């Protein structure tokens, strides 16, 4: 079975397994796990922040950021199809007691003028704007890379109005690879950033939340409150550190495979590529095949390819470390059969 559902399904490499087995460990709640400490220090330096925190998942990292930045009754501004709004089970309202104000973006990027307009003024009728959230790359925009100038403008608006900016950078390293820039350059225009180790980088579990020392100190307490204080977590952190330091350069291979796959899919009658392929995500519309996404995904499964529904007639394919070019070529043949 060729699995193109997500880059979250990647298996740890032998080197990652070895790193986990040999990891030097201690109690991380006491700050005594050397492997976790090394991972956090390396991540902070790489992202250009003062400090970092190892968290169990990207969702936990995003929610800790909201909890740390905001007060109950605040409002957060974010893109209408963002992961925090769309895929995190309403956690921002359930945990932080904040409400969301969404702005429809263009390829995941909000218009800075609309962000400015959405800021709440001093009025007893309004909630205070507590946070602005961006997503880079943007999942539901098909792995789109946010323009650096767009991020910079929104960050400057936040600074001018004393409102922090958080980047959900679950796939920030994919954005960095696509732009051929260091991740720190993409993270410079935000107060905090979350990055996943367990997607394209291939680590088995975990994410990083980075920001100022003061912020991370408060975030650490929120991690504990959420049950995320781990003990001998170095077994998880060691493969994460390997992924962070050794797996970034190969992300461009996933992008090349995605472009190749998108090009071949566009040649299949009845299929239409919906997104500009910046990174490792392709979204295809199957309406022209006279079936919906559920039907097409099921037909693909019978042909030996796993994909995911992404709307009534949209299907998502994600390239990653565990799928080679040869397997992409096999998948194309299977997709052709399913479309026939």
Closest CA to 162 of 194, 199, 203, 120: 120
Question: In sequence order, what DSSP letters do the residues of 202-268 get, joined into one string?
Answer: --SS-EEEEE-HHHHHHHHHHHHHTT---SSTHHHHHHHHHHHHHSSTTHHHHHHHHHHHHHHHTTS
Specify the pLDDT at position 151. 98
pLDDT tens column, 22-77: 999 999 999 999 999 999 999 999 999 999 999 999 999 999 999 999 999 999 99
What pTM value is reported for the model? 0.97
* pLDDT value at 78 more than 90: yes
Question: How many CB atoms are closer than 10 A to CB 126?
Answer: 11
Question: How many CB atoms are closer than 10 A to CB 79?
Answer: 26
Domain residues of the chain, as ranges? 11-246, 250-339
Confidence category of residue 240, pLDDT binned at 50, 70, 90: very high
* pLDDT value at 84 more than 90: yes
pLDDT tens column, 271-321: 999 999 999 999 999 999 999 999 999 999 999 999 999 999 999 999 999
Mean pLDDT of the chain: 98
* pLDDT value at 219 more than 90: yes
* pLDDT value at 10 more than 90: yes
Distance CA(302)–CA(123), nearest Å, equals 58
Specify the pLDDT at position 50. 98
63 touches 225 (CB < 8 A) = no
Confidence category of residue 340, pLDDT binned at 50, 70, 90: confident
Specify the pLDDT at position 77. 98
- Structure tokens belonging to residue 152: 């910079």
* pLDDT value at 121 more than 90: no
Closest CA to 53 of 192, 198, 239: 192
Specify the pLDDT at position 323. 98
Fold that domain 11-246 belongs to in CATH: 3.40.640
Question: Can 11-246 and 250-339 be said to share one CATH topology?
Answer: no
Q: CATH number of 250-339: 3.90.1150.10, 3.40.50.620, 2.70.150.10, 3.30.70.1380? A: 3.90.1150.10
pLDDT tens column, 136-195: 999 999 999 999 999 999 999 999 999 999 999 999 999 999 999 999 999 999 999 999
Q: Which ranges in the chain belong to alpha helices (H)?
A: 14-22, 34-47, 58-69, 83-86, 91, 112-118, 148-160, 172-179, 183-187, 213-225, 234-246, 251-265, 293-302, 325-339
């Amino acid at each position: 079975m060729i699995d193109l559902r997500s880059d979250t399904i990647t298996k740890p490499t032998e080197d990652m397994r070895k790193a986990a087995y040999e990891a030097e460990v201690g109690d991380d709640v006491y700050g005594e796990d050397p492997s976790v400490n090394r991972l956090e220090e390396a991540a902070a330096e790489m992202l250009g922040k003062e400090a970092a925190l190892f968290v169990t998942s990207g969702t936990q990292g995003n929610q800790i950021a909201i909890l740390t930045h905001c007060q109950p009754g605040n409002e957060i501004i974010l893109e209408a199809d963002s992961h925090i709004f769309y895929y995190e089970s309403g956690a921002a309202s359930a945990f932080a007691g904040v409400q969301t104000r969404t702005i429809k973006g263009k390829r995941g990027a909000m218009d800075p003028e609309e962000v400015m307009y959405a800021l709440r003024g001093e009025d007893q009728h309004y909630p205070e704007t507590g946070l602005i959230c961006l997503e880079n790359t943007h999942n539901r925009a098909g792995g789109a890379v946010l323009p650096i100038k767009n991020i910079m403008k929104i960050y400057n608006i936040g600074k001018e109005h004393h409102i922090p900016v958080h980047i959900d950078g679950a796939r920030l390293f994919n954005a960095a690879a696509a732009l051929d820039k260091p991740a720190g350059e993409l993270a410079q225009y935000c107060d905090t950033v979350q990055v996943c180790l367990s997607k394209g980088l291939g680590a088995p579990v975990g994410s990083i939340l980075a920001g100022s020392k003061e912020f991370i100190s408060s975030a650490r307490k929120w991690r504990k409150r959420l049950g995320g204080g781990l003990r001998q977590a170095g077994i998880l952190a060691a493969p994460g550190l390997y992924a962070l330091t050794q797996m970034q350069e190969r992300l461009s291979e996933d992008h090349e495979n995605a472009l190749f796959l998108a090009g071949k899919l566009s040649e299949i009658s009845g299929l239409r590529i919906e997104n500009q392929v910046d990174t490792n995500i392709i979204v295809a519309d199957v309406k022209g095949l006279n079936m919906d996404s559920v039907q097409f995904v099921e037909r693909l499964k019978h042909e030996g390819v796993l994909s995911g529904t992404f709307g009534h007639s949209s299907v998502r394919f994600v390239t990653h470390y565990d799928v080679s070019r040869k397997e992409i070529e096999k998948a194309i043949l299977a997709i052709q059969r399913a479309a026939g």
